[in-house]
Structures are given as C-alpha cells and as structure tokens.
Amino acid sequence: MAAAAAETEVAAAAAANLTGMELDLPVDPNEPTYCFCNQVSFGEMVACNNPDQSKIDWFHFGCVGLKEQPKGKWYCSDCAAAKNSCKADDA
C-alpha cells in the first residue's frame, strides 16, 4: 500500500511540474483531456490495461514516471492499488 501511495505522490508531483511542458500551440477547447494532469494528448503516452475500471484511459509518460513503453501490461496507480487490495483480501 505504501508503494501505491508513493506512486500517487510521484504522479501528483509530475502533474504539478507540467507547467514547463505546456503546449505553445493553441488547444481546441473541445479536445479531450487525459492523464492526472488533465491536459490534451502530447508526447508519448501509455494506456491503463484496466480500461473498464480506470477513470482515466491514457497517461503522459512524465506524469507516471515512465521513460519508455512498459513491457507487458501496465496499470495506473488507481488500478494497481485496487488490484493489490484484492490480492490482500484473497490472502
């Protein structure tokens, strides 16, 4: 559970630091937003492999602490925490 909390803190800090990554181009106000930062799609992004449960489908690499595409399945911090909680309940 501590790992999930730490991951959430990292994501929140990354989202807070995105002011330097804001796009210079005008953004269509109707364009959908993604990620913890609630910004439009830009750069490399990763999808949560639990789309039925995840509130957010896509995440910017920088916001979730990734530098490259993960190998195999990847879950956002919310889904990973829920998945770990279910495993703990099963034990």
Cβ-proximal residues to 87 (8 Å cutoff; 6+ apart), any chain: none
pLDDT at 66: 96
pLDDT at 6: 45
pLDDT at 84: 74
Task: Write out residues in the chain with pLDDT < 70, as ranges.
Answer: 1-25, 51, 86-91
pLDDT at 91: 53
- Sign of dihedral through CA atoms 89, 46, 26, 24? positive
Please name each of the domains of the chain with its CATH number.
2-90 (3.30.40.10)
Q: For 26-43, write each residue's pLDDT tens digit.
A: 778 889 999 999 999 999
State phi, psi for 89 to the nearest 5 degrees.
Answer: -70, -30
pLDDT at 89: 55
